[in-house]
Amino acid sequence: MVQLSSSQARLLAGARIGHLSTADTGGAAHVIPICYAFDGDSIYSVLDQKPKRTSLTRLRRVKNILANPQVALVVDHYEEDWSRLWYILVTGHAELMLEGDEREQAIVKLREKYQQYRDMDIDMNPVIKITPDKVVSWGI
């Protein structure tokens, strides 16, 4: 289990958006913005009802994770005052959770963090769980 510094954990937990990178078996990268929750050990993102062109289980990020569970998540902060810039890069492995207590707790955490999820019917939706293997940060 990767140990984050208290600053890394605080910033990772508090940031509103991250960018998730997945890759297919051929190494073709796919990067998308995600909403997520961090519980101190794992990072969770639900497949929600924002407009999508395909079913949830046919999303490229899902297909990539099922084929190649190695992922990266970048969370960063930008300001014109460059002395306040920072980023956290988490690399690890992802899995798709379709049921269970951990998935249900992830939904609770996501609803606590994002008001929008309180009004969405996401109780049965798949959740992506990221288990960090390595964390690199700058400016923290």
Can you give the CATH number for the domain in which 71 is found?
A: 2.30.110.10
pTM: 0.93
Identify the sign of the CA torsion 79, 134, 8, 67: positive
Q: With respect to residue 119, please indicate whether it lies within any of the assigned structural domains.
A: yes
Domain count along the chain: 1
Mind listing the pLDDT tens digit for each residue in 83-96?
Answer: 999 999 999 999 99
- Strand boundaries in 1-140, DSSP class E: 18-23, 29-34, 37-38, 43-46, 70-77, 86-97, 127-138
Per-residue pLDDT tens over the stretch 22-35: 999 999 999 999 99
**24 within a domain of the structure (yes/no):** yes
Where in the sequence is the domain holding 103, given as residue range(s)?
6-138
Say if 33 falls within a structural domain.
yes
Indicate whether 1 belongs to any domain: no
